[in-house]
């Protein structure tokens, strides 16, 4: 008997019949190292996603505080609680934070937590890259806020239109930092998109063909494909902006043959799909939550999936409706009107399918479902005001007024934040193993729902009465005072509801009722494992036989044969999820963190000197080489696993 | 707070011209269609809630699934019906949108009044053409137009992007550096309407307003003739001293007063300054004491304005303000 053979005989393999020894071996294999090193070397998708979610939530709270300061300033006319420049920084930071540091990344963060659990995988694909993306994101967000606190806050709006954002009209470092923050977050976003697409296409449990994929996973797949096409556009735009500002190019300078509208095209070619990057993942939350609390699968699975894909395509054909007031040809604008209204159709189909599900199901009114029901009220209102904004002539009146502020908050809070809170309530038991308080949840819900409508509904009316966006104050006698005061009161109610949520999480973190594996009796795979999930997620890779595996026939089937002492995963085919290979995944490493530090040094320094792009590339290259340097132990392990008979 | 208390001279809902009225009609139609859709969705939602509150509560997914399967053909018909109805409604809206766009672009402009307007941080300049041998002239932040005659405004930007918007008359049009645009509208009711910059253009975007006075053609002709005339000569000693200080100091470097040697073009033309109702693009009313403060310390009224403070002795300042107030 050779040495290799004895090793392979001692080796533990997973499988449905494997015992406690296999479980603890798997748990040990997939754990992040302990101590401070583990803090920086962690690559487990649940660890990274947990931090990612916490970071985005922190940015959400910061962005919310900025909004409170704005509402405080606007509560009455001609107030000077903050000056005009500070106000410009406030709304720039608020929009930038909410869009770039909260809404898009939080959806990716939640997806990197849930997708592997929902598709029966032990990890995301490229776990080190996932960790790198997280660090890049955090450092980019910190860079923006450090700049803001240090007095170099951007003040040209989250859209940074040129020439206002050019060096002539926005001197100082604020806009440079803003543009570089885009580079950070879009880099992180693109990497996460690659991670998620690969995970979904190649790591689904055997049997989970595309037509059996949970709708949330579909929503994530569609969204991340959109990220690949949308984000390069804004990176190109912001890089050209920073070149104009720092190197003296003239991409946007009409005096030297540049064009101010080029920026708007690049920005909105990203900016409009971005709304759907924020809005499509919550469609997945809603489908999941409705199915669970209506006790039935979502009606019209195929229609739902096709609608998601249709929305994704149409979303790239709408960007000009942000530019109806420019001098683009009328016939071209008409095309974008048609596209803007057309996108309401797949959204409508989804809503009708959900309503059908709710009507034919048996509803259980738990907190997650309340947030989803509120979605119908708020998002439908936001969608309908969107239909108004899609019309060229109506848009010419309400464009850039508080009507748009109302519309976008109805869409983004109704379409993303309400479902997101529903999702927190729904998945917190899986994440932490404890339930959130239903009582506090209901209080939070009603405060949020009422506060939201009190804050934003009056803004429709303010817009029709001519109140422009982004004004730091307004004259008396315009008839805007009462509605603005009401809106401010509502904003504080929203703040109170978010505070209740934080209290709820803090209390339930240690003292919540024990959840058990499946508190909601839900249908997807994540509820078939313990809460919180063990480091390796699944003791045995499940075999999927239907769209709701946890509601399906028992006993559930599983595959066996992955080594318990190595980070082995099963890759499957794209369409039918047939098992293809056993693939060995990398182990925790400090190099993703160090590479992120080096990349941050490059990005930050290039705001001060363009030469940083040259010398800053050297540490990045070294760190990345070290990251991919093949280790002796890992190579030997891989060989040992391969030579097994 | 009710709509009645709102400023009617600055509202989408109170059109005073054909373009704004056309858009308001579209607004009413769209609002009606959207309200019906919203009511329908809400009714379906309430029906679902009501039904399950009354119905048997069971937690069995299998039974829920079975019940759902039974109701399937009817459900499918409802969903398909709602989708088709939405498609028809949306198609209808698109058609009405196109018809509205067409109506807006077909305003007859044969005998139109042509005005050239330039947006700057944070004020407006409008150039009127010469007529009947009179020279053209420039006014700032205060337009006059004749009722019933179409107006074509050519829009330009001196620095960053601004947006021309008078909600009672028409929708918005951007003023883009390097890309002149035009907007066509007609006032059908006499009155003074407020306009405001709608594109964020820097820290004082909030105070970049202007007025549009629509008046009878006779009144308009009178106004035009008056504005075309050079500035009145000072009528008293203080005003004369004020003019001399104005011309000798930095004021004349930026401002024009036609009929004098002041020909600066960075700030508003002040030839008929006293005829304008506000100072600094709607920031403050054009009153003596306010004007005094504005000339002495513009930053205290409009932080960030490009107008520098006038470093003049108090008596000179009084005289300059007296002179400016005489420029009717």
CB of A303 less than 8 A from some CB of B: yes
Answer whether A346's CB lies under 8 Å from A282's CB: no
Which pair of structure tokens corresponds to residue A97? 């934070």
φ, ψ at B140 (rounded to 5°): -125, 140
- Residue B269 in any domain: the answer is yes
Which pLDDT value is given to residue B266? 92
- Residue A596 in any domain: the answer is no
Looking at residue A93, which CATH number applies to its domain? 1.20.210.10
Give the strand pairing for B151-157 and B162-164: unpaired
CA distance B218 to A69: 50
Calculate how close chain A gets to B292, using CA atoms only, in Å. Answer: 20
Calculate how close chain B gets to A263, using CA atoms only, in Å. Answer: 12
Which pair of structure tokens corresponds to residue B21? 């009225």
CA distances from B3 to A139, A181, A553, B15, B193 (A): 48, 42, 61, 14, 17
Mean pLDDT across the stretch B202-227? 96
Residues 298-317 of B with CB under 8 A from A: 303-304
Neighbours of A578 (CB within 10 A): 11
CB of B43 less than 8 A from some CB of A: no
- Residue A67 in any domain: the answer is yes
Which pLDDT value is given to residue A17? 80
In this complex, the residue of B22, B56, B83 whose CB is nearest that of residue A349 is B83
Answer whether A101's CB lies under 8 Å from A141's CB: yes
Q: At what angle do helices A104-119 and A260-293 cross, to 10 degrees?
A: 40
Instruction: Assign residue B41 a region (left: φ > 0; alpha: ψ between -120 and 50; beta: otherwise).
Output: alpha
CA distance A139 to A177: 12
Identify the residue whose tokens are 């520098």. B308
Looking at residue B222, which CATH number applies to its domain? 2.60.40.420
Q: Does one domain contain both B122 and B212?
A: yes
Q: At what angle do helices A344-360 and B61-70 cross, to 10 degrees?
A: 110
φ, ψ at B145 (rounded to 5°): -140, 155
Calculate how close chain A gets to B222, using CA atoms only, in Å. Answer: 30
CB of A479 less than 8 A from some CB of B: yes
Residue B57: DSSP 8-state = -
Which pLDDT value is given to residue B50? 87
Residues ≥6 apart with Cβ < 8 Å to A614: none
In this complex, the residue of B104, B121, B178 whose CB is nearest that of residue A260 is B178
φ, ψ at A513 (rounded to 5°): -65, 145
Calculate how close chain B gets to A542, using CA atoms only, in Å. Answer: 21
- A355 contacts B45? CB cut-off 8 A: yes
CB of B42 less than 8 A from some CB of A: yes
Helices (H), A150-214: 174-202
φ, ψ at B71 (rounded to 5°): -80, 5
Which pair of structure tokens corresponds to residue B214? 């629509």
Q: Does one domain contain both B167 and B82?
A: no
Calculate how close chain B gets to A88, using CA atoms only, in Å. Answer: 6
CA distance A15 to A562: 8
Residue at which a domain ends, from B54, B84, B105: B105
φ, ψ at B172 (rounded to 5°): -95, 160
Answer whether B222's CB lies under 8 Å from B144's CB: no
Nearest CA in chain A to B81: A352
CA distance A267 to A319: 9
Which pLDDT value is given to residue A47? 96
Calculate how close chain B gets to A81, using CA atoms only, in Å. Answer: 14
Sign of CA dihedral A29, A35, A37, A43: positive
Answer whether B19's CB lies under 8 Å from B186's CB: yes
CA distances from A503 to A368, A446, A499, A508 (A): 17, 16, 6, 8
Q: For residue B223, what are the domain limits?
A: 113-228
A-B contacts at Cβ under 8 angstroms = 283
Which pLDDT value is given to residue A120? 95
Answer whether A143's CB lies under 8 Å from A604's CB: yes
Q: Does one domain contain both B73 and B127?
A: no
Chain B residues whose CB is inside 8 A of the A325 CB are 163, 171-174, 198-199
Residue B236: DSSP 8-state = S
Q: State the total domains in chain B.
A: 3
Q: Does one domain contain both B46 and B95?
A: yes
Which pLDDT value is given to residue A561? 87
Identify the residue whose tokens are 């029901």. A373
Answer whether A564's CB lies under 8 Å from A12's CB: yes
Return the closest-CA partner of residue B224 out of B124, B277, B145, B123.
Answer: B145
pLDDT digits (tens, 9 = 90+) for B259-304: 999 999 999 999 999 999 999 999 999 999 999 999 999 999 999 9
Which pair of structure tokens corresponds to residue A632? 């002796």
DSSP structure string for B73-91 = HHHHHHHHHHHHHHHHHHH
Calculate how close chain A gets to B295, using CA atoms only, in Å. Answer: 20
Q: Does one domain contain both B35 and B56?
A: yes
Return the closest-CA partner of residue A185 out of A149, A247, A154, A230.
Answer: A230
pLDDT digits (tens, 9 = 90+) for B15-74: 999 999 999 999 999 999 999 999 999 999 999 888 877 654 455 555 555 555 666 788
- Residue B69, preceding peptide bond in cis (omega within 30° of 0): no
Q: For residue A190, what are the domain limits?
A: 37-525
DSSP structure string for A231-282 = HHHHHHHHHHHHHHHHT---TT-GGGT--HHHHHHHHHHHHHHHHHHHHHHH
- Residue B7 in any domain: the answer is no
pLDDT digits (tens, 9 = 90+) for B164-198: 999 999 999 999 999 999 999 999 999 999 999 99
Residue at which a domain ends, from B228, B255, B276: B228
Which pLDDT value is given to residue B3? 40
Give the percent of chain B with pLDDT over 70: 92
In this complex, the residue of B13, B86, B100 whose CB is nearest that of residue A393 is B100
Answer whether A185's CB lies under 8 Å from A227's CB: no
Q: Does one domain contain both B60 and B134?
A: no
Chain B residues whose CB is inside 8 A of the A397 CB are 12, 20, 23, 27, 167, 171-172
DSSP structure string for A534-598 = PTTS-SSEEE--SSSGGGS-SSPEEE---BTTTTEEEEE-TTT--EEEEEEPPPP-SHHHHHHHH
Residues 131-160 of A with CB under 8 A from B: 155-157
φ, ψ at A84 (rounded to 5°): -60, -40
Answer whether A338's CB lies under 8 Å from B96's CB: no
CB of B172 less than 8 A from some CB of A: yes
Give the strand pairing for B209-215 and B142-146: parallel
In this complex, the residue of B11, B172, B201 whose CB is nearest that of residue A164 is B201
- A330 contacts B198? CB cut-off 8 A: no
- A361 contacts B20? CB cut-off 8 A: no
CA distance A105 to A102: 6
Question: Which of A397, A398, A490 to mutate: most B Cβ within 10 Å?
Answer: A397
CA distance B149 to B164: 19
φ, ψ at B256 (rounded to 5°): -105, 135
Residue A320: DSSP 8-state = G
CA distance A325 to A392: 8
Question: Which of A74, A250, A360 to mutate: most B Cβ within 10 Å?
Answer: A360
Residues 143-162 of B with CB under 8 A from A: 159-161
Calculate how close chain A gets to B79, using CA atoms only, in Å. Answer: 6
Calculate how close chain B gets to A354, using CA atoms only, in Å. Answer: 10
Answer whether A403's CB lies under 8 Å from A459's CB: yes
Which pLDDT value is given to residue B2? 39
Sign of CA dihedral B245, B249, B254, B259: positive
CA dihedral A230, A233, A234, A238 (to 10 degrees): 170
Neighbours of A633 (CB within 10 A): 8
CA distance A65 to A11: 54
Answer whether A268's CB lies under 8 Å from A319's CB: yes
Q: State the total domains in chain A.
A: 1
Radius of gyration of chain A measured on its C-alpha atoms = 25
Which pair of structure tokens corresponds to residue B210? 């202007």
Residue ranges of chain A with pLDDT lower than 50? Answer: 1-8, 645
pTM over 0.90: yes
Give the strand pairing for A557-559 and A541-543: antiparallel
Which pair of structure tokens corresponds to residue B60? 């069995």
Chain B residues whose CB is inside 8 A of the A261 CB are 176, 179
DSSP structure string for A327-395 = S--HHHHHHHHHHHHHTHHHHHHHHHHHHHHHHHS-----HHHHHHHHHHHHHHHHHHHHHHHHSHHHH
Which pLDDT value is given to residue B6? 56
φ, ψ at B199 (rounded to 5°): -100, 130
- A352 contacts B83? CB cut-off 8 A: yes
- Residue B1 in any domain: the answer is no
Residue at which a domain ends, from B105, B122, B139: B105
- Residue A605 in any domain: the answer is no
- Residue B296 in any domain: the answer is yes
Helices (H), chain B: 18-54, 61-70, 72-105, 217-228, 237-248, 251-254, 288-296, 298-301, 314-325
CB of B94 less than 8 A from some CB of A: yes
Q: Does one domain contain both B77 and B57?
A: yes
φ, ψ at A134 (rounded to 5°): -60, -45
- Residue A249 in any domain: the answer is yes
- Residue A536 in any domain: the answer is no
Residues ≥6 apart with Cβ < 8 Å to A394: A388, B23, B26, B27, B30, B97
CA distance A271 to A252: 18
């Amino acid at each position: 008997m050779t040495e290799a053979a004895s090793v392979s005989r001692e080796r533990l393999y997973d499988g449905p019949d494997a015992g406690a020894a296999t479980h603890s071996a798997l748990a040990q294999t997939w754990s992040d190292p302990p101590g401070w090193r583990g803090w920086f070397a962690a690559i487990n998708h649940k660890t990274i996603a947990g931090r990612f979610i916490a970071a985005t939530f922190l940015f959400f709270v910061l962005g919310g505080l900025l909004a409170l300061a704005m509402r405080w300033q606007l509560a009455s006319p001609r107030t000077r609680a903050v000056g005009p420049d500070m106000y410009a920084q406030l709304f720039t930071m608020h929009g930038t934070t909410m869009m770039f540091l909260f809404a898009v990344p939080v959806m990716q963060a939640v997806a990197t937590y849930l997708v592997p659990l929902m598709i029966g995988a032990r990890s995301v694909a490229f776990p080190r890259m996932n960790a790198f993306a997280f660090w890049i994101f955090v450092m980019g967000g910190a860079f923006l806020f450090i700049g803001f606190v240090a007095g170099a806050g951007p003040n040209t709006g989250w859209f940074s239109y040129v020439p206002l954002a050019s060096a002539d009209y926005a001197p100082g470092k604020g806009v440079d930092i803003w543009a570089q923050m885009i580079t950070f977050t879009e880099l992180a976003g693109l990497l996460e998109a690659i991670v998620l697409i690969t995970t979904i296409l190649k790591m689904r449990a055997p049997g989970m063909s595309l037509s059996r994929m949970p709708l949330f996973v579909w929503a994530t797949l569609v969204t991340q494909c959109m990220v690949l096409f949308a984000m390069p556009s804004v990176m190109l735009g912001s890089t050209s902006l920073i070149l104009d500002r720092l190197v003296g190019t003239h991409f946007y300078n009409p005096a030297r043959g540049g064009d101010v509208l080029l920026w708007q095209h690049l920005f909105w070619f990203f900016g409009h799909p971005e709304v759907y990057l924020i809005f499509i993942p919550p469609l997945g939350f809603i489908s999941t939550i409705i199915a669970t609390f209506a006790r039935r699968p979502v009606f019209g699975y195929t229609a739902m999936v096709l609608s998601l894909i249709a929305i994704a395509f149409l979303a790239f054909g709408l960007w000009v409706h942000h530019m109806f007031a420019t001098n683009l040809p009328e016939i071209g604008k008409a095309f974008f009107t048609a596209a803007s209204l057309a996108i309401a159709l797949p959204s409508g189909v989804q809503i009708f399918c959900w309503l059908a599900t709710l009507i034919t199901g048996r509803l259980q009114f738990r907190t997650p479902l309340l947030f989803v029901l509120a979605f119908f009220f708020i998002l439908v209102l936001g969608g309908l005001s969107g239909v108004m904004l899609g019309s060229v002539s109506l848009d010419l009146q309400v464009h850039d007024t508080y009507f748009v502020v109302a519309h976008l908050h109805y869409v983004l809070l109704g379409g993303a934040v309400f479902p997101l809170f529903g999702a927190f309530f729904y998945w917190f038991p899986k994440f932490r193993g404890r339930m959130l308080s239903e009582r506090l949840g209901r209080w939070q819900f009603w405060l949020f729902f009422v506060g939201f409508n009190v804050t934003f509904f009056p803004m429709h009316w303010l817009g029709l009465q001519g109140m422009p966006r982004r004004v730091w104050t307004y004259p008396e006698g315009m008839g805007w005072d009462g509605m603005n005061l009401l809106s401010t009161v509502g904003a504080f109610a929203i703040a109170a509801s978010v505070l209740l949520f934080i209290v709820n999480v803090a209390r339930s973190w240690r003292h919540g009722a024990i959840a058990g594996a499946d508190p909601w009796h839900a249908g997807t795979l994540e509820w078939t494992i313990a809460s919180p999930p063990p480091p390796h997620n699944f003791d045995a890779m499940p075999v999927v036989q239907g769209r709701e595996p946890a509601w399906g026939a028992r006993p559930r089937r599983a595959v066996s044969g992955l080594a318990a002492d190595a980070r082995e995963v099963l890759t499957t085919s794209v369409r039918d999820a047939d098992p293809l290979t056993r693939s060995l995944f990398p182990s925790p490493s400090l190099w993703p963190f160090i590479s992120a530090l080096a990349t941050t040094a490059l990005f930050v320094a290039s705001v001060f000197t363009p030469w940083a792009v040259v010398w800053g590339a050297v540490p990045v290259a070294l760190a990345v080489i070290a990251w991919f340097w093949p280790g002796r132990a890992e190579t030997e392990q891989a060989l040992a696993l391969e030579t097994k008979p | 707070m009710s709509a009645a208390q709102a400023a009617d001279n600055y509202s989408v809902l109170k059109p005073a011209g054909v373009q704004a009225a056309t858009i308001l009609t579209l607004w009413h139609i769209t609002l009606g269609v959207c309200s019906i859709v919203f009511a329908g969705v809400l009714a379906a939602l309430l029906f679902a809630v009501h039904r399950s509150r009354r119905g048997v509560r069971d937690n069995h997914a299998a039974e829920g699934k079975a019940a759902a399967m039974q109701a399937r053909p009817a459900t499918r018909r409802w969903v398909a019906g709602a989708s088709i109805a939405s498609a028809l409604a949306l198609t209808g809206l698109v058609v009405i949108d196109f018809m509205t766009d067409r109506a807006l672009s077909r305003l007859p402009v044969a005998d139109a009044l042509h005005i050239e307007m330039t947006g700057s941080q944070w004020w407006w300049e409008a150039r009127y053409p010469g007529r009947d041998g009179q020279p053209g002239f420039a006014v700032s932040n205060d337009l006059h137009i004749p009722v019933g005659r179409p107006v074509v405004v050519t829009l330009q930007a001196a620095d960053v992007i601004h947006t021309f918007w008078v909600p009672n008359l028409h929708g918005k049009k951007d003023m883009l550096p390097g890309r002149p645009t035009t907007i066509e509208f007609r006032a059908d009711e006499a009155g003074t309407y407020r306009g405001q910059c709608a594109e964020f253009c820097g820290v004082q975007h909030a105070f970049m307003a202007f007025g549009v006075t629509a008046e009878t053609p006779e009144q308009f002709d009178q106004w035009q003739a008056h504005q075309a005339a050079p500035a009145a000569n000072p009528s008293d000693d203080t005003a004369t001293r004020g003019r001399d200080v104005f011309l000798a100091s930095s004021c004349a470097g930026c401002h024009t007063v036609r009929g004098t040697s002041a020909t600066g073009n960075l700030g508003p033309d002040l030839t008929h300054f006293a005829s304008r109702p506000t100072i600094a693009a709607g920031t403050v009313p054009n009153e003596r004491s306010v004007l005094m403060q504005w000339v002495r310390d513009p930053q205290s009224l409009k932080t960030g304005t490009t107008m520098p403070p006038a470093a003049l002795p108090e008596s000179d300042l009084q005289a300059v303000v007296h002179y400016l107030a005489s420029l009717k």
